């Protein structure tokens, strides 16, 4: 999954976040994010305003692999018993 770049304010556009809903999905191991925001064009004489919504997913970090840890412990124990 590619990283998501959030929309930020610039010298030409002001971004105001109105609403953010984060819904975790245990099955897919992601957070579904819904964002509603207002963008104001600061170069426009009347401050041109638009509202937009964005939806994206943020992946959870990988689970540590316990199998590797268990096999390492077994190898260490066998080396200790041999000596």
Q: 30-41 and 49-59: which strand pairing?
A: antiparallel
- Residue 19 pLDDT exceeds 80: yes
DSSP result, 33-76: EEEEEEEEETTSTT--EEEEEEEEEEEPPPPP-HHHHHHHHHHH
C-alpha 72, offset from chain centre: 32
- Residue 29 pLDDT exceeds 80: yes
pLDDT confidence of 16, banded at 50, 70, 90?
A: very high
Residue ranges per structural domain of the chain: 13-82
Instruction: Render pLDDT for 37-68 as a digit per residue (tens, 0 to 9).
Output: 999 998 888 878 999 999 988 888 887 666 55
- Residue 34 pLDDT exceeds 70: yes
Residue 35 structure tokens: 């964002």
């Amino acid at each position: 999954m590619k990283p998501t770049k959030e929309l930020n304010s610039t010298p030409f556009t002001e971004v105001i976040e109105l609403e953010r809903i984060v819904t975790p999905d245990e099955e897919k191991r992601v957070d579904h994010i819904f964002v509603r925001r207002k963008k104001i064009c600061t170069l426009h004489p009347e401050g041109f305003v638009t509202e937009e919504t964005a939806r994206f997913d943020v992946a959870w970090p990988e689970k540590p692999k316990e199998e590797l840890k268990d096999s390492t412990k077994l190898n260490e124990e066998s080396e200790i018993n041999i000596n």
